[in-house]
């Protein structure tokens, strides 16, 4: 099986990682950030078409460019069902503190499994940062896009609307019990692996 062709661009005032999986006319964007112009310029430089957008959670710094991409590429957008309302609510997605978003795109709710072209994808529900935050896992590749659930050496904050310290504790337990050593592509910062985080991340050992 061929490796995934993954490109990363860091966008916006929060330095959010946006990932592009190059797959011909069926390329996928994970968390398009909040700078649509810069992202579209980058996509155009790759000479690809975007057909799908997957969202790890609903905060503005990860979703802000969705309308720009949908208007440009007519792509489909997917988010875990528990963060669906957050997409359209500027207080829940935190954009009200900066520049309120009024996103218009249709978003498709995902409960767990998704098949996009040849890719088997699982939204592993890991609440705490938000009530619908997830790992987006490409099952055949052991790759997880972790959003703000897990970073190299840290985890996402749990003091926002819909956040929960109790859920975060349960999510850490759930991640620790995972058997697959996923390569982790986080929403901020550098890549890591789940095994490295189990060994070295202080939140796994507190």
Residue 99, CB half-sphere, CA atoms under 13 Å: how many? 9
Task: Assess if CATH 3.60.15.10 describes domain 6-204.
Answer: yes
Residue 206, pLDDT score: 67
pLDDT digits (tens, 9 = 90+) for 55-91: 999 999 999 999 999 999 999 999 999 999 999 999 9
3-state secondary structure of 195: helix
The DSSP string of 139-184 is: GGGTEEEEETTEETTEE----STT--HHHHHHHHHHHHH--S-PEE
pLDDT mean across residues, the chain: 95
Identify the residue whose tokens are 């060994």: 199
Stretch among 66-80, 85-99, 142-156 having the lowest mean pLDDT: 85-99
CA–CA gap between residue 137 and residue 69 (Å, rounded): 22
Answer whether 43's CB lies under 8 Å from 20's CB. Answer: yes
Mean pLDDT, rounded, for 145-158: 97
Give the DSSP letter string of 100-140: --------EEESSEEEETTEEEEEEE--SSSTT-EEEEEGG
Q: Where are the domains of the chain?
A: 6-204
Average confidence (pLDDT) over 114-136: 97
Asked if pLDDT for residue 137 goes beyond 70, the answer is yes
Q: What is the pLDDT of residue 13?
A: 86
């Amino acid at each position: 099986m061929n490796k995934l062709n993954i490109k990363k661009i860091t966008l916006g005032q929060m330095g959010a990682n946006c990932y592009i999986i190059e797959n011909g006319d069926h390329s996928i964007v994970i968390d398009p950030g909040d700078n649509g112009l810069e992202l579209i310029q980058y996509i155009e430089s790759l000479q690809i078409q975007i057909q799908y957008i997957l969202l790890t959670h609903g905060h503005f710094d990860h979703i802000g460019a969705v309308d720009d991409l949908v208007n440009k590429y007519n792509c489909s957008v997917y988010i875990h069902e528990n963060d669906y309302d957050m997409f359209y609510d500027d207080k829940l997605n935190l954009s009200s503190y900066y520049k309120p978003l009024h996103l218009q795109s249709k978003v498709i709710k995902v409960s767990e499994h998704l098949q996009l072209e040849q890719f088997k994808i699982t939204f592993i529900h890991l609440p705490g940062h938000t009530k619908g935050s997830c790992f987006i896992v490409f099952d055949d590749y052991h790759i997880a896009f972790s959003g703000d659930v897990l970073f190299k050496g840290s985890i996402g904050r749990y003091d926002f609307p819909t956040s929960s310290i109790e859920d975060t504790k349960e999510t850490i337990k759930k991640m620790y019990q995972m058997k697959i050593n996923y390569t982790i592509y986080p929403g901020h910062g550098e890549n890591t692996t789940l095994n490295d985080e189990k060994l070295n991340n202080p939140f796994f050992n507190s």
